Structure 1
């Protein structure tokens, strides 16, 4: 199998897999409706031919396989050509399994929150520990590549992969992680999410229960005991099981947690015995849990505590996870991917713990399929407690029926009823104007969205550098 075509190649995971297959020596190309930076730059740097727009003419007779992206549906001219001609096709997770996971020790990092950070941490600790893993992450890990990368190609037997519970393709609505042949599975937490494909929490739990049932008898399931949902999975395991968390009744216990500036220090016990003291350049209890899972995996594959501690200190972080994008007029602007109420709350709580006296602006765009919906209406009202100022942008999916759509006016009213300063912003430019007009030196501004947020990050930094009078 030499020639592979990707329909929808500009998705992060699709582009990453294409690059990995190219590195394996395969002839890879793809197409997408819109081809623009940063993915166009990434694909160009990987020397992967990319066609703009979809056309049946792109499906040539020399293709051995077509990988169909998650966003592709019936009616796409390339997909229709593939089906008409019975050309071999598969989903993204199937392609990963067939080309990388048979014969590997598959380490699947799953959970509603923290997957990208935990996958990056695990991949880096194994890399630093000398086991030379292959790593596939749903974000840009700064420890990989010259400028950060979403993947790492290794020569060892370990494959560390972010296990997404979202569905696989239009023809396969099961979770992606069910294709990943887990030898070691981490489930950090389980909550309701992805309201566009899961009807309720029980449906989410069913997907995770199926993952747990796939771990071999000699494999290992690592469960985040701080999550009630994850704890429910303990009864379904056939494999070995270990728990981790901040409570004392766990196999991997993090305690004596201290945050200072941009770093966190904590101590770990394993089965009640001292394992080591650790420092990391991340803040927040949620990141302690993420790191604890990575530590447990690293220990399982034979890396010693001192080497793990050294690797953790050298972790470079992930783009879009409380990433400082700039400082202007003594205001620090962060970019964060948070879009679930729990992720919003944990991100802001971590920043507050590191900066107890700072004025924090939480600027949130309801953009994801779940955050745009009313299902989290009450939960979002409780998520911004660590912020001093809250600005809510317009709902991205404004065409949702009103009864199903998150009500920003109601959210603002509920936040005010809880004693918070909260406002609805009519536009991204309006957000910039408010922050520039009202900011104080030393403020921290966290821009939270799972999308590009209209390029607001650079707009805000540029405006902060100019005179306030210009906005009057």
Structure 2
């Protein structure tokens, strides 16, 4: 559902009683948590009992597990997820009453109001980069408020209220939300075509990031990874407008570079170089080249905010990951099980490369669930091609989220595109079948990895239970 951003935005303490339609999602639950901690009266509804709801209930937030008009109660404001259907009874009730109805972007702006905002954007890696930045800032002596699209292992939450005026936020481009925030500073990890169901063309998608850079405070800064062609182009454009740009990456011309990269098991080690000066070595507890670049972006932002390298490094090295980003779920019968949110071909390729390092001598057994009909229509073949890096592949049907099914666009498009001879492939109907297929294929020493932005995350625990019983 497309909810327009109102012409006049209000801070959270002026919204009255706030009801969240889709409160169980990563974005809305984070906003609701911040409001509740600050004393704003909050309620919400969702059709799924997601992991985010437990923490909200602990704060006294009423979370209904279905949508119904009466759940709106005496709310003055609705904050609505983009996944809501046009016939959602709570939105219809809000319109009938003439209530203030906000998209999530306006809801997030309301809790950012009055803060110094650092917004982290990009096609891939924004959750991890945001989480790394939060961890680094806390270790360096900062106490930011934050809202991120995944649970931080260190806190168990996707949002917290800090004592200072700094606010670190993951800024999502999928529906243009990131154009609302007007941040002091921003980090852009990469710019690769996605969400073309919203933006229409790759050129329009790239222009959205240019527009985002244009919203950054002229006294602030933009961090861009110039290893990525799209982010490099953005950096050049932003610099030409007079915005201070700090570039990061392995590229020789980056302002902050990673050199001497080494990967062993679940760790990534690299040297940080600024100009001709080696600042020091960083040893991450997460695997993969893409996470090194994410850490560089977080480090650059922390340095620009005035923190010292040693404190920031301490936070980066202490970072134990965030939910659904190469998250270890457990081990049974000699098989390790991981889960990741990857749902774009580039993300799949990066996570499989990282998983190879973790798997060591073991094989890589992967289950993938395509997310969105529109994305699968455009990138299904590329998804299958990327999955060819695994030894065994199980593909589920498309997770529909906010779209209707299309009989011509199913997970079969992905399964059929996995290169023959490089992987053994199965296409299955559901979550239980996927778990059973993974267990049938996995051997002691193997690594099982579930990939996708939908409910495939529930397959890992099922695999562990089956392996334990075996």
TM-score for the superposition, normalised by structure 1 = 0.89
Q: Distance in 2 between matches of 1:81 and 1:427?
A: 35
1:406 positional shift: 4.7
Q: Distance in 1 between matches of 2:226 and 2:389?
A: 24
Deviates more, 1:130-139 or 1:358-367: 358-367
Partner of 2:117: 106
Match of 1:90 in 2: 102
| Distance (Å, rounded) in 2 between the aligned partners of 1:441 and 1:51 | 42
Which shows bigger deviation, 358-367 or 46-55? 46-55
- Aligned match of 2:9: none
Residue 228 and residue 362 in structure 1: after superposition, are their counterparts in 2 closer, same or farther (change >3 A)? same
Matching residue within 280, 289, 303 for 2:307:
303
Shift of 1:163: 0.5
Given the superposition, is the C-alpha separation of residues 377 and 438 from structure 1 closer, same or farther in structure 2, using an over 3 Å criterion?
closer
Matching of residues 65-144 of structure 1 within 5 Å: 65-100=77-112, 102-144=113-155
Question: Offset at 1:312?
Answer: 1.4
State the number of aligned residues. Answer: 451
Q: Is the 8 A contact 1:345 1:385 kept in 2?
A: no
**Match status 1:344 vs 2:357:** no
Instruction: Give the distance between the partners of 2:67 and 2:399, measured in 1 at CA.
Output: 25
Hey, what does 1:438 align to over in structure 2? 441
2:151 corresponds to 1:151: no
What is aligned with 1:246?
A: 250
Is 1:17 aligned to 2:18, yes or no?
no
How far did 1:248 drift? Answer: 1.1
Name 2:19's counterpart in structure 1. Answer: 5
Query: For each residue in 1:400-455, what CA deviation from the matched residue of structure 2 results, as whole angstroms up to 9, or x when unmatched?
Result: 4345x1562x5444434363333323443333333333332101010112122283
Q: What is the aligned partner in structure 2 of residue 401 from structure 1?
A: 406
* Residues 206 and 392 of structure 1, relative CA distance in 2, 3 Å threshold: same
Distance in structure 1 (CA, Å) of the matches to 2:432 and 2:99: 48
Q: Which residue of 2 aligns with 1:211?
A: 212
Deviation of 1:189 (Å): 0.5
1:297-329: per-residue Cα shift (whole Å, max 9, x none)? 111111111112211121121111111111111
CA offset digits 1:345-369 (Å, max 9, x no partner): 1001012134442211121111334
Q: What is the distance in 1 between the residues matched to 2:44 and 2:427?
A: 41
CA distance in structure 2 between the aligned counterparts of 1:259 and 1:454, rounded to whole angstroms = 26
Q: Does residue 42 of the first structure (1) align with residue 55 of the second (2)?
A: yes
Q: Check 1:355–1:463 CA distance in 2 against 1; reply closer, same or farther (3 A cut).
A: closer
**How many Å separate the matches in 2 of 1:72 and 1:236?**
35
Partner of 2:3: none
Q: 1:51 to 1:327 in 2, by over 3 A?
A: closer
Residue segments in structure 2 that go unaligned for 5+ positions in a row: 1-13
Contact 1:196–1:369 (CA under 8 A) maintained in structure 2: no
1:201 has 2:202 as partner:
yes
CA RMSD of aligned residues (A): 2.2
1:466 has 2:469 as partner: yes
SS in 2 for 1:447: strand
Residues 254/161 of structure 1: CA separation in 2 closer, same or farther (3 Å cut)? same
Pair 1:96–1:395, CA change in 2 (3 A): closer
1:43-102 CA deviation, whole Å, 9 max, x = no partner?
311210223444444445x544322332335433332333333322322221221332x3
**Superposition map of 1:284-303 within 5 A:** 284-303=288-307
Q: Deviations over 1:187-226 (max 9, x none)?
A: 1101111243232211211211110111122210111111
Residues 278-308 of structure 1: CA distance to partner in whole angstroms, max 9, x if unpaired?
Answer: 1110111100010000000111111111112
- Structure-1 separation of matches of 2:388 and 2:195: 24
Which sits farther off after the overlay, 6-15 or 394-403? 394-403
Match of 2:368? Answer: 364
Stretch of structure 1 that moved more, 328-337 or 388-397: 388-397
